[in-house]
Amino acid sequence: VTESWNTARRGELLRELAGRGLLDRPRFLESAELGPLRKSNHRIDAAIEGEREVAARTVRLRIGLGERFPHDLPSVYVAELGALPFLPHVERDGRVCYVQREGVVVEASAPDRVVEEAFDRALQTIEDGLIGRNAREIYDELEAYWRELDGANSVPGYVDPNGPLRKIIVAFARDRGRVVFPYVADNFAAVSAFDPTIKRLTSEKIGLFIPLARSVLDERLDPRSFTDGDWVRAFVERHLTRADGERLRSFAASREELWPFVVLSVPRPQGGRSLVGLHYEQAHGGHPLLDGRAHRPVRPICLTRRDRRALLERGGAATNLGRARVAIIGCGAVGGHVAMNLASAGVASLCLVDPDHLSTENTFRHVLGRSSRGRPKAVAMKHDIQRRYPFVAISAEAKRIEELMTEPGFDWQQFSLVVITIGDVTVSRMLNENLARAHTAAIFTWLEPLGIGGHALLAHLGEELRGCYDCLFWDGDGQERLANRADFAAPGQSFTRDVAGCGSVFTPYGNLDASRTAELAARLALSALSGSVLEAKLVSWRGDPAAFHAAHYRLSDRWNVSASEPFPLAQAACQTCWSSG
């Protein structure tokens, strides 16, 4: 039975719950009293107010139901927030954020149970706050609390959250009489690395980056204290390391004028750091963190973080790839996706090698689509990646790898990993031999015809050298083979250029097949770069063989072997890896 919900029915439910003793001295709020609650995101249209004893205090609370209830959770508010100490997970308007607690049950068939459950969790959140049980959680969400402080301003920040106390640059300008800060950065190069079109301002001042020690986490914090200059000075002093304290004094004593602007780097309990800014208006008598004074309350500055670490973390990318340099040999259908995947995953440096130009025929099978027609693939990929992602250094080599390899000064060991996506067996075997000799990790990728599958093979990792691309061309009985042992297509068949996927005939799912293979290769690459894979490894995907069968081609023995069966990669007859392993 679907019953319709309206304001009156929500009011009725609250009155009924109040009758059951949910709140002491309950009072139903009249429509005119709802004010800002009605205008909030939750559009509260029915609410009751009353009291409860929480951690030996009497706390005034409101329970509100919004227009979307029961499809939206009930809201619980602390009615007189100013009367209580600062509470984690309670918003400026008093709303208690209780959903961070595990297992909130939304059961639309029993709306009264939902309200009771929500209220219970909200009370628990308030109690944790009053007795300090969740005091550390403020440090997890410090940047969010900062945004809620009075007068908080947002400023683009290009500041690395790690490292010692140091000088930073603060650009300032006036906008209709108000001081604004177009950027705060470690240096202007950090701004350009994010967006090369940003212009450097001449009105730059010197501010300070101040990292606090982990001892700060033992202090129960009220973010509202940060507007009090004297409190901030004492707080910073308590949590500066000795070396940073000396740096602060020596910077303040130097003749260079320090602008009263600081960025605090505050550790988070689970690791990582929050960045928050403070601007002292009308400071005088020295630096406000030493002996100076500020006339007005300190203004909180929120950093819109554009440092590499923050952007990668928020995007789910890895932050530990800052020194990885990966070469991608071939920027075709597979290579284009591999390059894009690795850039978005946080690989700091790429070298793209491909002599070909993008043609109209590439339109539907290349990650660049129709754009960049007529340009060298390597160069077009470089520009497209740099337009999308900051902090990635790319060199484009519009030439064959055989040519690049023979250039003076070329060294495979400049790369942490080489990904080969050219699909040409002869060149791949030649590269395999060179990479084995150079002890440089490599991933070989190839795609099979008509969507039956794709492969990525990781080899030449660290000390364990056995198992390589050449091993795929040797049998257990020591015989060399013409066909790759891992292929899903049976040997001895000839595929036309069109069927093999390099020609111009329409191949079903061509681009999806390429991107699927590229994804396998990219995941394997990230595992290798992060050290979570330590030996040679082949990964394959199997597609739908319908089109392959329809064209009267035959599948290989390997196709019929279960995917969970380990593939015998390393071969004693292999001339490249076995004897050296």
Residues of this chain that interact with Zn ion (CB under 5 A) are: 468, 470-471, 574, 576-577
Cβ(269)–Cβ(251) under 8 Å?
A: no
Q: How far is the CB of 578 from Zn ion (least distance, A)?
A: 6
Q: How far is the CB of 264 from Zn ion (least distance, A)?
A: 54
Taking the C-alpha atoms of residue 77 and residue 56, their distance in angstroms, rounded to an integer, is 18
Q: Judging by beta carbons within 10 Å of its beta carbon (0-12, 13-18, 19+), is residue 211 exposed, middle or buried?
A: buried
Q: Judging by beta carbons within 10 Å of its beta carbon (0-12, 13-18, 19+), is residue 299 exposed, middle or buried?
A: buried
CB of 44 or CB of 471, closer to Zn ion: 471
* Structure tokens, 508: 């079903």
CB of 345 or CB of 574, closer to Zn ion: 574
Helices assigned H by DSSP within 448-532: 510-530
The residue length of the chain stands at 581
Element of type H or E holding 138 = helix 137-140
Q: How far is the CB of 508 from Zn ion (least distance, A)?
A: 34
CB of 236 or CB of 472, closer to Zn ion: 472
Q: How far is the CB of 425 from Zn ion (least distance, A)?
A: 14
Q: How far is the CB of 479 from Zn ion (least distance, A)?
A: 15
- Three-state DSSP at 135 gives coil
CB of 350 or CB of 471, closer to Zn ion: 471
- Three-state DSSP at 185 gives strand
Q: How far is the CB of 480 from Zn ion (least distance, A)?
A: 12
| Residue 32, φ and ψ in degrees, nearest 5 | -65, -20
CB of 195 or CB of 480, closer to Zn ion: 480
Residues paired with residue 185 on neighbouring β-strands, in sequence order? 158, 169
Instruction: Quickly count helices (H) and strands (E) in the chain.
Output: 16, 20
CB of 301 or CB of 468, closer to Zn ion: 468
* Structure tokens, 43: 């559009």
Total Cβ atoms within 10 A of residue 352: 27
* Structure tokens, 219: 């202090």
DSSP β-ladder status, 417-420 and 325-329? parallel
CB of 307 or CB of 470, closer to Zn ion: 470
CB of 274 or CB of 571, closer to Zn ion: 571
Q: How far is the CB of 538 from Zn ion (least distance, A)?
A: 12
- Three-state DSSP at 490 gives coil
Which residue bears the tokens 């080599």? Answer: 397
CB of 171 or CB of 456, closer to Zn ion: 456
Q: How far is the CB of 534 from Zn ion (least distance, A)?
A: 17
Q: How far is the CB of 521 from Zn ion (least distance, A)?
A: 19
Which residue bears the tokens 């005119």? Answer: 32
CB of 114 or CB of 577, closer to Zn ion: 577
CB of 398 or CB of 574, closer to Zn ion: 574
CB of 235 or CB of 473, closer to Zn ion: 473
Taking the C-alpha atoms of residue 410 and residue 416, their distance in angstroms, rounded to an integer, is 14
Element of type H or E holding 457 = strand 453-459
Taking the C-alpha atoms of residue 554 and residue 381, their distance in angstroms, rounded to an integer, is 36
| CA 299 to centroid of chain Cα atoms | 29
Return the sign of the alpha-carbon dihedral for residues 426, 432, 434, 440.
positive
Q: How far is the CB of 473 from Zn ion (least distance, A)?
A: 9
- Look at residues 262, 239, 259, 258 and name the one whose alpha carbon lies nearest to residue 250: 258
DSSP β-ladder status, 57-66 and 325-329? unpaired
Q: How far is the CB of 446 from Zn ion (least distance, A)?
A: 16
What's at 524, amino acid-wise?
A: L
CB of 362 or CB of 432, closer to Zn ion: 432
Q: How far is the CB of 377 from Zn ion (least distance, A)?
A: 30
Which residue bears the tokens 């508010």? Answer: 77
CB of 120 or CB of 433, closer to Zn ion: 433
Element of type H or E holding 480 = none
DSSP β-ladder status, 24-28 and 44-54? antiparallel
* Structure tokens, 240: 């500066």
What does DSSP assign to residue 38? H
Q: How far is the CB of 445 from Zn ion (least distance, A)?
A: 17
Q: Catalogue the long-range contacts made by 496-505 (C-beta closer than 8 Å, 24 or more residues apart).
A: 499/449, 499/450, 499/551, 500/449, 501/333, 501/365, 501/447, 501/449, 502/423, 504/361
Q: How far is the CB of 320 from Zn ion (least distance, A)?
A: 30
What does DSSP assign to residue 364? T
